[in-house]
Amino acid sequence: MSDAILRLDDVHTDIGQYHILHGVSFDVPEGGVHVLLGRNGAGKTTTLRTVMGLWRARKGAIVFRHHDITALATPDIARLGIAYVPENMGIFGGLTVEENMRLATGSGQFDKDRLDRVFALFPAMEKFWTKQAFALSGGQKQMLAISRAIIEKREMILIDEPTKGLAPAIIRAMIAAFREIAADTTILLVEQNFLFARALGRGVTVIDDGRIVHDGDMAALAADEGLQTKLLSLSLDAHQ
Ligand SMILES: Nc1ncnc2c1ncn2[C@@H]1O[C@H](COP(=O)(O)OP(=O)(O)OP(=O)(O)O)[C@@H](O)[C@H]1O
């Protein structure tokens, strides 16, 4: 697809002696939210880490816009405009909200408009600006991790299971925030929560056992419970 912002082509990744990704190929179209769905251990995190250069693709290619990033170092990949919010969120518990966010800026200086946007999306960040991150709730920590990713202009954000362990009300707030962020940034979202994925995703790629088993429109998958069950071997609506 010519409008892909990110393309994986026959990507194979090993972790130690284990062959984890077995020829993963899919495109992420520019704009909006694309979901990478799959069961526990399917290879979702490994895919994101391989894109970021945290694991190395042994074979295949990863292209971001017109750059072949397959062999680039992680900081160089980040400099092209890709941010990564890992499952463990990557925030510093002993630092304040402000310090966590300042570290995520390239210059140590905040752009006032972007900071205002973060505060509008996540008012808790302004409220707890001087609070240490370890004292935040689970949902607030996730909001901080996402705030760090968007405190500077990014082309694309890779987010690993942001709803894990969060209460429904927080998840609803996340959906609203992600819609707003996706207005000018492409999001590749790794999820197991199908309700969250369905509310946001335009396209969906399903991975199982290190292989892509489905790639298509979210609306089509959302309308086809049989396909959901077949692809994920569980009732997704029950999996919230
Ligand atoms: N550091 C590691 N050493 C060895 N095997 C690993 C390591 N990290 C992941 N794996 C294995 O790679 C496979 C894919 O793991 P990955 O974390 O990518 O899955 P996932 O789809 O993100 O699942 P989860 O939702 O559980 O995080 C699993 O079989 C996992 O056991």
What's the pLDDT tens digit per position in 83-125? 999 988 888 999 999 999 999 997 889 999 999 999 999 999 9
- 72 shares its domain with 100: no
Do 20 and 60 lie in one domain? The reply is: yes
pLDDT at 194: 85
Please report the pLDDT score of residue 21 as a whole number. 98
Residue 108's domain comprises: 88-153
Give the pLDDT confidence score for residue 87 in this predicted structure: 87
Let me know whether 211 and 170 are in one domain: yes
Please indicate, yes or no, if residue 240 is contained in any of the structural domains: no
In a mutational test of the pocket of ligand 1, which residue from 17, 46, 231 has the highest number of ligand atoms less than 8 Å from its CB?
46
User: Same domain, yes or no, for 54 and 77?
Assistant: yes
Question: Domain check: are 63 and 147 in the same one?
Answer: no
Q: How far is the CA of 117 from the centre of ligand 1 (A)?
A: 34
* 75 shares its domain with 182: yes
Q: Which of 135, 153, 171 is the last residue of a domain?
A: 153
In the block, residue with structure tokens 């205002």: 116
Domain end (from 132, 153, 174): 153
Model ipTM?
A: 0.93
**How much is the mean pLDDT over the chain?**
91
Task: Tell whether 49 and 167 lie within a shared domain.
Answer: yes
Over residues 172-217, the pLDDT tens digits come to 888 999 999 999 999 999 998 888 899 999 999 999 999 999 999 9
The whole-model pTM stands at 0.92
Which residue has the CA at smallest separation from atom 31 of ligand 1?
Answer: 41
> Which tens digit of pLDDT belongs to each residue from 36-80?
999 889 999 999 999 999 999 999 999 999 899 999 999 999 999
Cβ of 50 less than 6 Å from ligand 1: no
Over range 139-145, report the average pLDDT: 93
* Tokens linked to 38: 């799959």
